[in-house]
Amino acid sequence: MVCVLSVSCFSSKKILYFQGVDEAAVDTTKVNYSPVLKPDDQLSILVSSMDMEAAMPFNLPAASFNTSGFSVNGNPQLQTYLIAQNGTIEFPQLGNIHVAGLTRLEVIALFKEKLTPLLRDPVITVQIVNFKVTVLGEVKTPGTYPVKNERITVVEAIGLAGDMSLWGVRSNVLVIRETEVGKTYNRIDLTTADMFNSPVYYLQQNDVVYIEPNSPRVNNAATSATTGIIISVTGLIITIISILTR
């Protein structure tokens, strides 16, 4: 018998988050929430200095698009740098600079090193403007969600999607990540406090979080599909018999 609308069908050990958190020890030396830049990331890079006029050539002009075409007037929007497949961006005055594989802070340090001989006290601001994560499976609202602050945990991502349903397997959440060497597939158990030590607890841009359905959910779906087929076939047979016996 399929359990429907009954919490008793689910063990508390399978649906409770962070079990044992009071006794757990989080190893903060392993925690890394700085996203690593990848090809196709879009970056906002602003260069300022004590001499703002000297810093202007190192910034893209603010521009806007209107019905008459490209324009630098009207309501300007900051242009961004798209990281190419070879991991570089084309930067004003400095040419091609390789940034893929670096964190945001490492990129700031790199540009400061290159610009210090050219500018007085350069200040570099870097932001990933297309940071997003995707949550699929047994959640209330699956979809792709933008991230504004470049720091998001797998728990926060699931929260954006409206939390898991009771049918979601909390102990085997899959995180799919794009890296320079290809996709990686990592599992994380949200029912234990050890999740905080997982290398994928902090998500990176374009990560996909998948919540798989538990066995009752799969069996219920299969039963529903089979029942629907049987009903359709039965209806067809009745219709044919009705036509032949007229």
Is a pLDDT exceeding 60 seen at residue 199?
A: yes
Q: Mind listing the pLDDT tens digit for each residue in 140-196?
A: 999 999 998 888 999 999 999 999 999 999 999 999 998 878 899 999 999 998 898
Binning pLDDT at 50, 70 and 90, where does residue 21 land? confident
Q: Mind listing the pLDDT tens digit for each residue in 126-143?
A: 999 999 999 999 999 999
What is the share, in percent, of the chain residues with pLDDT greater than 90? 56
**pLDDT for 5:** 44
Long-range Cβ contacts of 120-124 (<8 Å, 24+ apart): 120/49, 120/50, 120/51, 120/54, 121/49, 121/50, 122/47, 122/48, 122/49, 122/55, 123/47, 123/48, 123/49, 124/45, 124/46, 124/47
Is a pLDDT exceeding 50 seen at residue 86?
A: yes
Is a pLDDT exceeding 90 seen at residue 241?
A: no
Is a pLDDT exceeding 70 seen at residue 219?
A: yes
Higher pLDDT, residue 50 or 65:
50
Please name each of the domains of the chain with its CATH number: 16-33+131-215 (3.10.560.10), 42-128 (3.30.1950.10)
Please state, rounded to an integer, the average pLDDT across all residues of the chain.
83
**Stated pTM of the model:** 0.74
Is a pLDDT exceeding 60 seen at residue 101?
A: yes
**pLDDT for 2:** 45
Q: Which residues pair with 42 in a beta bridge?
A: 82
